[in-house]
Amino acid sequence: MMSNVMVVKSECSCFLQAIVITILLSISSTKTEDGYPINRANITDLPYLVRVLTNVRTCTGVLIDTLWVLTAAQ
């Protein structure tokens, strides 16, 4: 999975938040046993993602493309 997350400094908490976002997005794009993608996830289903995204945006250690995250989460 391609990620638009770039770590600028080694700030552990910010790095872990970026990993959580990547994991949540990969879970939301998983496939069923038949091979069909699960397209149910949207931004309202992932309130934790919104909270983490807000924290990452205020963190100087991680630059994240917000538009990409919101698009991928829908």
The residue ranges of every structural domain in the chain are 5-73
pLDDT band at 8 (very low <50, low <70, confident <90, very high): very low
Q: What is the pTM of this model?
A: 0.29
Q: Over 60: is that where the pLDDT of 17 sits? A: yes
Comparing 24 with 46, the larger pLDDT belongs to 24
The beta-carbon contacts of 14-22 under 8 Å, at least 24 apart in sequence, are 14/56, 14/59, 14/60, 14/61, 14/62, 15/61, 15/62, 17/52, 17/55, 17/56, 17/59, 17/62, 18/56, 18/62, 18/64, 20/48, 20/52, 21/49, 21/52, 21/53, 21/56, 21/64, 21/69
Q: Over 60: is that where the pLDDT of 16 sits? A: yes
To the nearest whole percent, how much of the chain has pLDDT over 70? 0
Mean pLDDT in residue range 8-23: 59
